C-alpha cells in the first residue's frame, strides 16, 4: 500500500480569533526515543536508488512533481485505496490545533494538510474564528520558480477555490532547507509525505526547529518501514510491481512512481528519523506507526 508523493510548497496558515497567533483501527504502536544522528554527507545524495550530485536532485524532484501534478490526488487515492486520507485525518487529530495556532505546512503538495487544518480549527465549537490571509502582508516573499513545482501549487489553489477557501492561508514558494521566514515565527510545523524528497533531511529538521516558537510542535507524516516480515514482503511486491504500472496507466508516468517506491526505501527508519529530530534540539520525541509501519507520525517539541 502506498500513498502520495509531495511537492515542496510552503503553506503558511494563520487562524485569527481576536488575537493573532499563524480509520480508527489502522494504527499500531507508539514509541518514545531520542539519540544523536550524523548529518548528511557532502557531495552526493540519492534520488531513489540512483546516486546523484546534490544540486541535481532538486531539479529531478522538481520535474517529478511538475509531471504528476494533474493526476497527483487521483493516484494517491488509487495507490492507497483511500487510506492516505485516514492517515492525514489522524495526523490532524494528533496535532489537535487550537484557535490562534500559527502553522507552517512544508512540502504542502496540493493542500491536503492545510485544508484539514483550517477545517479542524474552524470546527471547534467555541472558536468561530475569522480566517485572514497572512503571507502576503506579514511576509513579503518572492522565491525563484525552480524551488517548487508550480503545477502542484496551481492544483492546490484550484482546490481551495472549489472548496470556497479564499482566506486563512498563503501559498509560498520556498526551500525546506532554507525557509524564508524569521526565527520563532510559528506555533506548529507540519510536513506530510515530503521530507524524503529533500536533499538534506537533517537540515530540513534543523530549519523546522529554527522557525518554531518556544513550545512549538514539529510533526511529520512519512512513509516508513513495515515491521512485520511477512507484510513487508507483500508490501514490497505491491510497491515495485504494481505502483509503477498504475503510474503509467493513470498518470502516463512510470519513472516518477518508480522513484516514489525507491525513495521510501531510502528514507531512514522510525528509530533513525527520531534520532535526527532529537539531534536538531527537539524534545519529547515520539513516533506512532500507521498500518503496521507503512507510514509513521513523528512528533517533537521545541522546549528552549
Cell numbers standing for residue 279? 539531534
**CA 17 → CA 104, 129, 208, distances in Å?**
18, 5, 25
Sort residue 197 into left (φ over 0), alpha (ψ -120 to 50) or beta: alpha
* Residue found under cell 511529520: 220
**CA 178 → CA 133, 137, 190, 194, 201, distances in Å?**
23, 20, 16, 15, 12
**CA 255 → CA 80, 104, 137, 287, distances in Å?**
18, 30, 40, 31
Q: Is 176 annotated as a binding residue?
A: yes
* Residue found under cell 544540486: 55
Question: What residues contact residue 142 under an 8 Å CB cut-off, 6+ apart?
Answer: none
| Alpha-carbon dihedral angle through residues 231, 235, 238, 153, given to the nearest 10 degrees | 150
Picking from 222, 256, 214, the residue whose alpha carbon sits closest to that of residue 75 is 256
CA distance 144 to 21: 28
Strand-strand pairing, 102-106 and 283-290: unpaired
SS3 21: coil
Q: Is 175 annotated as a binding residue?
A: yes
First to last CA, the chain: 39
Per the annotation, where are the binding residues for S-adenosyl-L-methionine? 110, 175-176
Per the annotation, where are the binding residues? 110, 175-176
Amino acid at each position: 500500500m502506498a500513498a502520495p508523493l509531495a511537492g515542496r510548497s510552503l503553506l503558511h496558515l494563520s487562524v485569527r480569533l481576536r488575537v493573532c497567533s499563524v480509520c480508527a483501527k489502522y494504527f499500531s504502536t507508539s514509541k518514545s526515543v531520542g539519540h544523536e544522528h550524523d548529518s548528511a554527507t557532502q557531495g552526493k545524495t540519492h534520488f531513489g536508488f540512483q546516486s546523484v550530485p546534490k544540486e541535481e536532485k532538486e531539479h529531478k524532484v522538481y520535474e517529478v512533481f511538475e509531471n504528476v501534478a494533474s493526476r497527483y490526488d487521483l493516484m494517491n487515492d488509487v495507490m492507497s485505496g483511500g487510506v492516505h486520507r485516514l492517515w492525514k485525518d489522524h495526523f490532524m487529530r494528533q496535532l489537535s490545533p487550537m484557535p490562534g495556532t500559527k502553522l507552517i505546512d512544508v512540502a504542502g503538495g496540493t493542500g491536503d494538510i492545510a485544508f484539514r487544518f483550517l477545517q479542524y480549527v474552524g470546527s471547534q465549537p467555541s472558536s468561530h474564528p475569522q480566517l485572514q490571509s497572512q503571507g502576503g502582508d506579514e511576509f513579503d516573499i518572492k522565491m525563484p520558480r525552480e524551488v517548487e513545482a508550480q503545477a502542484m501549487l496551481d492544483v492546490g489553489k484550484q482546490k481551495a477555490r472549489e472548496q470556497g477557501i479564499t482566506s486563512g492561508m498563503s501559498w509560498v514558494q520556498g526551500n525546506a532547507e532554507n525557509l524564508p521566514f524569521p526565527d520563532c515565527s510559528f506555533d506548529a510545523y507540519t510536513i506530510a509525505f515530503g521530507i524524503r524528497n529533500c536533499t538534506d533531511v537533517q537540515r530540513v529538521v534543523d530549519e523546522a526547529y529554527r522557525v518554531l516558537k518556544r513550545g512549538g510542535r514539529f510533526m511529520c507524516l512519512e512513509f516508513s518501514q513495515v515491521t512485520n516480515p511477512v507484510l513487508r514482503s507483500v508490501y514490497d511486491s505491491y510497491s515495485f510491481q504494481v505502483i509503477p504500472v498504475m503510474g503509467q496507466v493513470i498518470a502516463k508516468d512510470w519513472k516518477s512512481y518508480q522513484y516514489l517506491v525507491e525513495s521510501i526505501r531510502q528514507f531512514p527508519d522510525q528509530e533513525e528519523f527520531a534520532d535526527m529530530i532529537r539531534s536538531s534540539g527537539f524534545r519529547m520525541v515520539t513516533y506512532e506507526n500507521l498500518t503496521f509501519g507503512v507510514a509513521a507520525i513523528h512528533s517533537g517539541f521545541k522546549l528552549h
